[in-house]
């Protein structure tokens, strides 16, 4: 039986038992081991651990989505602070449903109105189709308006057409350059007239003022030269506006008589206005003075020489301010029947 060796104490204080010798190849190594056991300490062999292998990482071709963080917990509002209520977003289905309800209500109302209209129209059609009794027509006596009496030779005043009062003065019947009244008399505002008619004109002006009108004698007698200047000034103005000379003459004669054929040169006409500078246009016929002249001029032997709607006969536009003396009888007849001097003279022609 082989002898046993004493146990060897390790630096840690643990005892180890020397293993038994192997029978074959251990004879050569025995002296070395004996040396180690006699004077050297045998180190303790520790088992080395194999390093842990890192797991294989598979590289993906897409980006890794970030981790979703859980929503933060709602913190309780601070003491004494009113929590803010967040407005809830309206979703499309809610708004759409309300619109649908509104559409349905409107459609129902439209249907109701249509039904009511059909009922009303049906009743009206029934009323129209129902036979209505024909009213009994009874003859009613109506007054036939009497026609406006036309002047007859028996109604005409007894006047002499060849007298100086009824002389016709116009472009076709001129006076001439040298004509002048026998005598001129002042009638107011520096104007003159034939002495045979001046008293009647003065009386007319005084009575017009007494009736509350303001009167200004614009023009009385004008000689040939004055009329010539006025006429050709109008021609010049119209031609400067682009009219031809023929057009300028035609327009001028509607307001200004041709030199030598003016009633102002004859001395029996006068222009009366309300004030100096008043515009001489047909529309002033509604002014108080013009209305008074039309109503009372015949009482003094005067007429409106160029009345309204007579331009195609007289050749001159409506001039409510232009008075011409013809005598009291002729004036009363002409104003009553709305006649101009040309029409009055034609009544005496055979």
**DSSP string of 281-303, one letter each residue:** -GGGGGSHHHHHHHHHGGGGTEE
pLDDT tens digits, one per residue of 14-25:
444 544 444 444
296 contact partners, CB below 8 Å, separation of at least 6: 204, 207, 208
Interatomic CA distance for residues 33 and 220, integer angstroms: 176
The answer to whether 297 and 335 are in contact (CB under 8 A) is yes
Q: Which pLDDT does position 302 carry in this prediction?
A: 98
Taking CA 311 as the corner, what is the angle to CA 306 and CA 312, rounded to the nearest 5 degrees? 140
Q: Which pLDDT does position 98 carry in this prediction?
A: 79
DSSP state of 173: B
pLDDT tens digits, one per residue of 210-223:
999 999 999 999 99
> Domains in the chain, ordered, with CATH?
164-211+269-346 (3.30.1380.10)
Catalytic residue among 125, 319, 329, 342: 319
DSSP secondary structure letters along 37-61 = HHH-PPPPP-PPPPPPPPPPPPPPS
Residue 82: which pLDDT band, with cuts at 50, 70 and 90? Answer: low
Give the residue, 326 or 130, on which the prediction is more confident: 326
Q: Which pLDDT does position 152 carry in this prediction?
A: 58
Mean pLDDT of all residues belonging to the chain: 78
Say yes or no to pLDDT of 269 above 60.
yes
319 flagged as catalytic: yes
Q: Which pLDDT does position 120 carry in this prediction?
A: 73
């Amino acid at each position: 039986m082989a002898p046993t060796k004493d146990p060897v104490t390790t630096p840690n204080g643990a005892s180890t038992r020397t293993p038994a010798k192997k029978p074959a190849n251990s004879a050569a190594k025995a002296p070395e081991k004996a040396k180690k056991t006699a004077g050297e300490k045998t180190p303790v062999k520790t088992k080395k651990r194999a390093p842990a292998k890192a797991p294989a990482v598979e590289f993906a071709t897409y980006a890794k989505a970030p981790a979703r963080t859980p929503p933060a917990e709602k913190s309780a509002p601070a003491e004494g602070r009113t929590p803010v209520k967040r407005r809830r977003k309206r979703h499309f289905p809610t708004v759409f449903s309300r619109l649908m309800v509104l559409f349905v209500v409107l459609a129902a109302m439209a249907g109701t109105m249509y039904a009511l209209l059909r009922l009303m129209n049906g009743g009206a059609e029934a009323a129209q189709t129902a036979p209505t009794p024909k009213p009994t027509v009874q003859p009613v006596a109506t007054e036939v308006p009497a026609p406006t009496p036309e002047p007859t030779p028996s109604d005409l005043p007894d006047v002499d057409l060849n007298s100086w009062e009824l002389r016709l003065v116009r472009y076709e019947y001129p006076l001439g350059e040298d004509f002048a009244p026998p005598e001129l008399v002042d009638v107011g505002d520096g104007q003159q007239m034939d002495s045979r008619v001046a008293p009647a004109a003065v009386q007319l002006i005084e009575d017009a003022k007494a009736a509350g009108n303001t009167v200004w004698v614009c023009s009385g007698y004008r000689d040939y030269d004055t009329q010539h200047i006025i006429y050709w000034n109008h021609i010049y103005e119209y031609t400067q506006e682009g009219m031809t000379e023929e057009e300028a003459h035609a327009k001028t004669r509607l307001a200004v008589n041709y030199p030598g054929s003016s009633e102002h040169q004859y001395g029996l006409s006068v222009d009366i206005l309300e004030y100096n500078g008043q515009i001489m246009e047909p529309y002033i016929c509604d002014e108080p003075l013009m209305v008074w002249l039309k109503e009372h001029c015949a009482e003094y032997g005067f007429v409106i020489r160029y009345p309204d709607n007579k331009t195609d006969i007289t050749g001159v536009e409506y001039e409510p301010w232009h008075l011409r003396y013809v005598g009291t009888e002729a004036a009363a007849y002409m104003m009553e029947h709305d006649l101009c001097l040309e029409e009055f003279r034609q009544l005496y022609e055979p």
